[in-house]
Structure 1
Amino acid sequence: MSNEDLCYLSATAALALFRARKLSPVELTQALVERTERVNQRINCLADRYFGEALEQARRAEARYMKRGAKTAPLEGIPLAVKDAQRVAGRRTTHGSLIFKDSVDDHSDPMIERLQKAGAIILARTTTPEFCLTGITESRIWGVTRNPWNTDWAPGGSSGGSGAALAAGLATLATGTDIGGSIRIPAAACGVVGFKPPHGRNPDGPPANFDRFNHCGPMTRSVADAALMQNITSGPHPLDHDSLRQKVKLPAEAASIKGMKIAYSVDLGYVPVEREVRENMLTALDVFRQLGATVAEVDIGWTGDVEANGLHWYNTMHFGRQTIWQRTENADLMTSYALKFADAARKATSIDDVHKVFEQAHRMYQTLGPVLASHDVFICPTNNAPSVKASHDPFDPHFTVAGRKVDPEYGWVMTHQFNMLHNCPVLSVPSGHAATGVPTAIQIVGRSFDDQRVFKAALAYEKAAGGWYTGREKRPKL
């Protein structure tokens, strides 16, 4: 097996090889380190790196596998990249900001804690925009992160570093957080798998765990690996009041979906969609039909008021507050887009704005809920454009998608609607590529808290599609 093949190995496959003593965690970690040193300068997706400590942990993991009869942890020896917005004990978390360049945490967030206890080796931190504010990944502290499939384009955000690291073969597993699509946007743009669980399924740290629109979750190159991570991280945590008591066991192998009822909408009733995104989604739907599922187009009754009453929250009331607080003393350290968010947030101070988004979410579920009740899952594109340029301005007043002027921040993605509907599990999986080489994706949306059905559909689709990154022809040319 070549070093490149090692770097694109799934965690599920690597663990099987570890247990059979056909691969060492040291070999896998060293291959990733060597590839990072050769490739990362072109895409710039990693922040702090812990290569020396990671190799030492890998040697200890190797010794446990070599010891006959020894019990190994579920992720023993698997290299993991952690988004630079999630706490790791003894490490700094910068949140993509110069303001926090010296901020070291004394504990890990619950999700990270569980992955560490399961034996995962934290290899590096992945880049994120300042305060996770935007759908591109650029900051003053880390610079511009680029898409491995085409470096002129963005990898998405805010978990853009995680998406890019997986696509470039620089990590086996990665983590992300998702308030407006920050797991699924980069998963789609980079051609990997990203899961937004129902709020509370995965325990989180404060204050994000109390935000109903916030979710932490896995980013992987296979659906089975996403299930593997979820089965470790989900469940109640004694330090997270919002964590769900129920722990869901997800399937990791494909099963028949014959007779499954799938509803779909290409545009959610009001969103402009680029031609290649549309065509690739329709091709993906044909795969489900060939597997014996019933696939039907539906009208979910949504209109542009979803954006008017929902998008306003993200751009101002939620994301903008922290920029206001930081601007008072640290304006000279902040990015230009963070300062613009602060200006927008100052204009939205009414408590009525908070209620408007909750009222809008309720109206949205009055039409989507019945569709989900009569179908197993709902499918739509993840992003309505494959991506935006790496230099994209999230405040560009002239930005268009499919020939229509749209919001420059959220007008090219179809993810935030399902943060508003925060109890719906949503899994983004690849659907193809655009002419630029940038991937496209679909998102599989489940009934509230019905994670298993989403994974069942995705596993069957992935198997029929032949998987992703399984050969050199399916990988970025780096």
Structure 2
Amino acid sequence: MNNDDVCYLSATEALKLFKKRKLSPVELLQSLITRAERVNPKVNCFADRYFEEALARARAAESRYMKRGARTRPLEGIPLAVKDVQRVAGKRTTQGSLIFKDWVDEHSDPMIERLEKAGANIFARTTTPEFCLSGITASRIWGVTRNPWNTVWGPGGSSGGSGAALAAGLTTLATGTDIGGSIRIPAAACGIVGFKPPHGRNPDGPPANFDRFNHCGPMTRSVADAALMQNITSGPHPLDHDSIRQKVRLPTEPAAIRGMKIAYSVDFGYVPVEDEVRRNMMAALDVFRKLGAEVEEVDLGWTGDVERNGMHWYNTMHFGRMTVWQQKQNADLMTDYALKFADIAKSSSNIDDVHKSWEQAHRMYQTLGPVLAGHDVFICPTNNAPAVRADHDPYDPNFTVAGRKVDPEYGWVMTHQFNMLHNCPVLSVPTGHAATAVPTAIQIVGRTWDDARVFRAALAYEKAVGGWYGDKRKRPVL
């Protein structure tokens, strides 16, 4: 293998090579560092880097693999990049904001703690927009992050740095958080795998664990790697009252799905969808048909009320924090979009309007619930446009998708609907590319708490299409 082939190894592949002593954790990490020095200036997906201390940990992992009969941990020596909003003990977490440029955390969030205990080697932090507010990844502290497939375009957000790092071959595993699609949006735009588990499946830290729309989860280049991470991070945690008691063991190997019943909708009944997204989704559905699945189009009957009522939650529960920082004389340090979100939150009519988002979610499930009761999974696009430009203005009043004027922040994604329906597991997987070379994707949505069935469908699909990064012809040119 050449250096780039090593950089694009999946974690499951790397672990097998470690155990056979055909590759060492040091060689893998050094390959990633070498590639990062060449490629990261083009995409700008890394925030803080811990290369030297990570190399020391890689050497310790290497020595464990070299000992005959030694017991190694599930992720022993696997490089991990952590989104710069998740706490890592002893490291600063800026949340993409100059306000927190010197904030150092005393403890790790539960998800990060579990990955480290499993042997994952944190060597870098990945970029995020300020306070994870946007579907673009640009901030005053870290600058603009770009899509490895076409640097004119953005990687999505808010876990855009993680998505770009994986697509660019700069990390083996990465983490993300998702309050409106922040794992799945960049997973789709960058052509990787991203999983939003049901809220509480993965324990989290405050304030995210108090927010039912909020989720933390894995971002990877393969479905098996996402399952590998989930099997480590899920389950109850003594410091998170919202973490659920049940722990699900996810499959990591593909199996037959003949007879599986799949429902789909391209547009939820109200969303404009770009032709390339639609075409690639239909091709993906044909793959499922060839695997023996029964595929049926359904009408959810959802309307634009989903958007209007969903925003009551975001305006009050998430954006409301912006007003606190703005009022603490931090406005001069904040991005324009953070200040605009603060103004929106201040102008929201009443905190009591939050109930409208709950009522809307209930109405949505009155149609989706019966669909899922009669089918194994539901499939729809992840983003209804492949991506937005790296310099996209999330307040552009003339922004359009498929010829229709839409909200410039949320009008190009189809993810936040499943933050409202927070108990449904959702996995984003690639479907192809647009003419710009930017990837497209579908979401595989499961019944509430039925994570394993989602992964079963995704593993079969991944095997049928031959995966996404094993061949150099399937990687971005950088």
TM-score, L = length of structure 2: 0.99
- Corresponding residue of 2:97: 97
Give the letter for the 1:425 counterpart: P
Shift of 1:241: 0.3
Matched residue of 2:319: which SS? helix
- Corresponding residue of 1:108: 108
Give the letter for the 1:358 counterpart: W
- Report 1:239-318 matches (<5 A): 239-314=239-314, 316-318=315-317
Give the letter for the 2:239 counterpart: L
Shift of 1:69: 1.1
Q: 1 CA distance for matches of 2:477 and 2:460?
A: 28
Give the letter for the 1:327 counterpart: Q
Shift of 1:312: 4.0
- Corresponding residue of 2:54: 54
- Corresponding residue of 1:476: 476
Shift of 1:349: 4.7
Q: 1 CA distance for matches of 2:353 and 2:13?
A: 48
Matched residue of 1:419: which SS? helix
Give the letter for the 2:47 counterpart: A
Deviation above 4 Å: which 4+ runs of structure 1? none
- Corresponding residue of 2:319: 320
Q: 2 CA distance for matches of 1:326 and 1:308?
A: 25
- Corresponding residue of 1:35: 35
Q: 1 CA distance for matches of 2:311 and 2:419?
A: 11
- Corresponding residue of 1:168: 168
In terms of mean alpha carbon deviation, does 348-357 or 71-80 score higher? 348-357
Q: 1 CA distance for matches of 2:468 and 2:26?
A: 25
- Corresponding residue of 1:222: 222
> Contact 2:46–2:124 at 8 Å: present in 1 too?
yes
Partner deviation per Cα, 1:372-429 (whole Å, 9 max, x = no partner): 0000000000000000000111111111000001011100000000000000000000
Count of residue pairs brought into register by the alignment: 477
- Corresponding residue of 1:410: 410
Matched residue of 1:394: which SS? coil
Give the letter for the 2:412 counterpart: W
- Corresponding residue of 1:383: 383
Matched residue of 2:380: which SS? strand
> Contact 1:319–1:341 at 8 Å: present in 2 too?
no
Give the letter for the 2:188 counterpart: A
> Contact 1:191–1:441 at 8 Å: present in 2 too?
yes
Give the letter for the 1:347 counterpart: S
TM-score, L = length of structure 1: 0.99
Structure 1 portions without partners, runs of 5+ = none
- Corresponding residue of 2:331: 331
Give the letter for the 1:432 counterpart: G
Cα-Cα RMSD: 0.6
Give the letter for the 1:470 counterpart: G
> Contact 1:156–1:186 at 8 Å: present in 2 too?
yes
- Report 1:10-159 matches (<5 A): 10-159=10-159
Matched residue of 1:432: which SS? strand
> Contact 1:259–1:293 at 8 Å: present in 2 too?
yes
Shift of 1:304: 1.1
Q: 2 CA distance for matches of 1:379 and 1:104?
A: 41
Shift of 1:311: 3.0
Q: 2 CA distance for matches of 1:304 and 1:311?
A: 11
Give the letter for the 1:322 counterpart: R
Q: 1 CA distance for matches of 2:336 and 2:133?
A: 12
Shift of 1:27: 0.2
> Contact 1:381–1:443 at 8 Å: present in 2 too?
yes
Shift of 1:19: 0.5
Matched residue of 1:331: which SS? helix
- Corresponding residue of 1:180: 180
Partner deviation per Cα, 1:77-120 (whole Å, 9 max, x = no partner): 00000000000000000000000000000000000000000000
> Contact 2:83–2:161 at 8 Å: present in 1 too?
yes
> Contact 2:312–2:354 at 8 Å: present in 1 too?
no
Percent identity between the two aligned chains? 80
Q: 1 CA distance for matches of 2:3 and 2:316?
A: 47
Matched residue of 1:95: which SS? coil
Q: 2 CA distance for matches of 1:124 and 1:378?
A: 35
Structure 2 portions without partners, runs of 5+ = none
> Contact 1:311–1:410 at 8 Å: present in 2 too?
no
Matched residue of 1:115: which SS? helix
Q: 2 CA distance for matches of 1:69 and 1:452?
A: 32
Shift of 1:318: 2.8
Partner deviation per Cα, 1:153-191 (whole Å, 9 max, x = no partner): 000000000000000000000000000000000000000
Give the letter for the 1:445 counterpart: V
Partner deviation per Cα, 1:283-315 (whole Å, 9 max, x = no partner): 00000000000000000121111111113432x
Q: 1 CA distance for matches of 2:85 and 2:130?
A: 9
Q: 1 CA distance for matches of 2:415 and 2:317?
A: 16
> Contact 1:154–1:388 at 8 Å: present in 2 too?
yes
Shift of 1:351: 2.3
Shift of 1:352: 2.3
Q: 1 CA distance for matches of 2:311 and 2:423?
A: 18
Q: 2 CA distance for matches of 1:85 and 1:231?
A: 22
> Contact 2:312–2:356 at 8 Å: present in 1 too?
no
Q: 2 CA distance for matches of 1:327 and 1:304?
A: 31
> Contact 2:77–2:120 at 8 Å: present in 1 too?
yes
Give the letter for the 2:103 counterpart: S
Q: 2 CA distance for matches of 1:30 and 1:343?
A: 46
- Corresponding residue of 1:373: 373
> Contact 1:317–1:349 at 8 Å: present in 2 too?
no
> Contact 1:383–1:415 at 8 Å: present in 2 too?
yes
Partner deviation per Cα, 1:425-457 (whole Å, 9 max, x = no partner): 000000000000000000000000000000000
